[in-house]
Amino acid sequence: MIQTMSISCRTDNRDLLERSLRAVWHPCSQMKHYENFPLVPMARGNGVWLHDYDGRRYLDAVSSWWVNLFGHCNPRINAAITDQLGRLEHVMLAGFTHEPVVQLSERLRGLAPEGLGHCFYASDGASATEIALKMSAHYWRAIGKPGKTQFISLENSYHGETLGALSVTDIALFRDAYGMLIRQQSTVPSPDWRKAAAQEKGEGESAEACALRCADALEQYLRLHHADLAAFIIEPLVQGAAGMAMYHPVYLQRARQLCDAYGVHLIADEIAVGMGRTGTMFACEQADISPDFLLISKGITGGYLPLSVVMTHDEIYRAFYADETSRGFLHSHSYTGNPLACRAALATLDIFIQDDVLASNRIKAAYLNQIATPLRDHHAVRNWRNTGMIWAFEVVSPHRDFAQRCFALALQNELLLRPIGSTVYFMPPYVIGNPEIELLVNGTFHIINQLS
Ligand SMILES: *Cc1c(COP(=O)(O)O)cnc(C)c1O
């Protein structure tokens, strides 16, 4: 303890930045770019704020890659983890069990759509995708349909970056470099509302009509290929990494009907959109559907510890229940069901109830929308959209490196924004207050003014 404190006292921004560039390989980065756009050393966090070593602060408007729900260093989550630390930090989950993982599984079953009775655990989102793909294909083999081994996803989908997850991810930047390593899967048209033709002029297709047209394309694909297909994996309501592409819930309803009709599993990847992000606990609720697999991660621990869950339909679980080991689901991770992470998740679920979070988020979202009119009407802003606690819009800018400039300029204005190409988005922690919402919206207006 004494040693760590003395380390943090000696450190300043520049020192940490230089040491990091010498020793750490940062994710999702061209390391050389850090020569021009330096890393931002962070010393501590508090609520929506991150603080560096030089006394500057940044409003975490992207919830630290979409994971944080109730702010940094939340006292209630801290207390739960600290309590668990004094009891049991970890035990393997094969052959053993513990109270936090049982409670979490029971509570998630109570919250999730109907029929998702069993929870399988891993440590990150990509692993949850891998698990669902393996379970789905294994299920079909177990019931005598071994030919069903293919998967489909939406155009521009993102389901993680391990090799299996990458095969159902359709973001060129992430996939092209590793194309030779993955088993290519097919995509079907995305119901992305932005594609609804000429909608700006009010003469185009409605979001609903666009969703129905794309559902017809899905049906055509399923009709031809269902015999080979194990599952259709989808990000419900919002395709995050695609640039917060939002779509009408009727697409999910049609997808559910079609997957039932053609005997294909529906995997709902709620890694980004679950845990209240779209306004309901799970995005699938807004289409009133229950998927065969529900993937949860990111916000589940409030952004504290790596944990992911694959919730599985009872019928699928039963197909694995047999005398032979080989019929079981043969998959494991060292930290499966880690008790500290489960306690963080339980504390997170408690906060949803204690603070009536979904209701209070509706009020916050309405306030943001109300004060955002000038930003929304800005001449450089296109496709303003909002679902729950996610906002996004495109910016028409003469700068080819708009995303990097916007990130840098935002930091100067106490904001942590991380555009995806020309798409600026807000995905703030749910503890954001009105003064901070004002700072976010007004600061962004100011930034867009300078970059357009
Ligand atoms: C982040 C994300 C993943 C991958 O999760 P990791 O923990 O980063 O592996 C998968 N699907 C969606 C929709 C995501 O947003």
What is the per-residue pLDDT across 272-317, written as a single tens digit (0 to 9) for each?
A: 999 999 999 999 999 999 999 999 999 999 999 999 999 999 999 9
**Ligand 1 mutation target, pool 298, 304, 333, 418, most atoms within 8 A of CB:** 298
Residue nearest to atom 11 of ligand 1 (CA): 159
- Nearest atom of ligand 1 to the alpha carbon of 308: 7
Query: 78-354, what's its fold?
Result: Aspartate Aminotransferase; domain 2 (3.40.640)
Report pLDDT digits (tens) over 10-50.
678 889 999 999 999 999 899 999 988 889 999 999 999 99
Domain ranges of the chain: 42-73+356-451, 78-354
pTM: 0.96
pLDDT band with cut points at 50, 70 and 90 for residue 1: very low
Mean pLDDT, rounded, for 250-257: 98
Mean pLDDT, rounded, for 367-372: 98
Pocket of ligand 1 (CB under 6 A): 124-126, 129, 158-160, 235, 240, 269, 271-272, 297-298
- Nearest atom of ligand 1 to the alpha carbon of 240: 15
The pLDDT value given to residue 3: 47
Judge whether residue 413 has pLDDT over 60.
yes
Residue nearest to atom 8 of ligand 1 (CA): 125
User: 3-class secondary structure for the chain?
Assistant: CHHHHHHHHHCCHHHHHHHHHHHCCCCCCCHHHHHCCCCCCCCEEEECEEECCCCCEEEECCHHHHCCCCCECCHHHHHHHHHHHCCCCCCCCCCCCCHHHHHHHHHHHHHCCCCEEEEEEECCHHHHHHHHHHHHHHHHHHCCCCCCCEEEEECCCCCCCCHHHHCCCCCHHHHHHHHHHCCCCEEECCCCHHHCCCHHHCCCCCHHHHHHHHHHHHHHHHHHHHHHEEEEEECCCEECCCCCEECCCHHHHHHHHHHHHHCCEEEEECCCCCCCCCCCCCHHHHHCCCCCEEEECHHHHCCCCCCEEEEEEHHHHHHCCCCCHHHCCCCCCCCCCCHHHHHHHHHHHHHHHHCCHHHHHHHHHHHHHHHCHHHHCCCCEEEEEEECCEEEEEECCCCCCHHHHHHHHHHHCCEECCCECCEEEECCCCCCCHHHHHHHHHHHHHHHHHHC
The pLDDT value given to residue 96: 98
**Ligand 1 mutation target, pool 67, 163, 238, 297, most atoms within 8 A of CB:** 297
Judge whether residue 179 has pLDDT over 60.
yes
What separation in Å is there between the alpha carbon of 48 and the centre of ligand 1?
22
- Nearest atom of ligand 1 to the alpha carbon of 270: 13
pLDDT band with cut points at 50, 70 and 90 for residue 203: low
- Nearest atom of ligand 1 to the alpha carbon of 272: 15
Mean pLDDT, rounded, for 119-140: 98
- Nearest atom of ligand 1 to the alpha carbon of 165: 10
Please give the CATH superfamily to which domain 42-73+356-451 belongs: Aspartate Aminotransferase, domain 1 (3.90.1150.10)
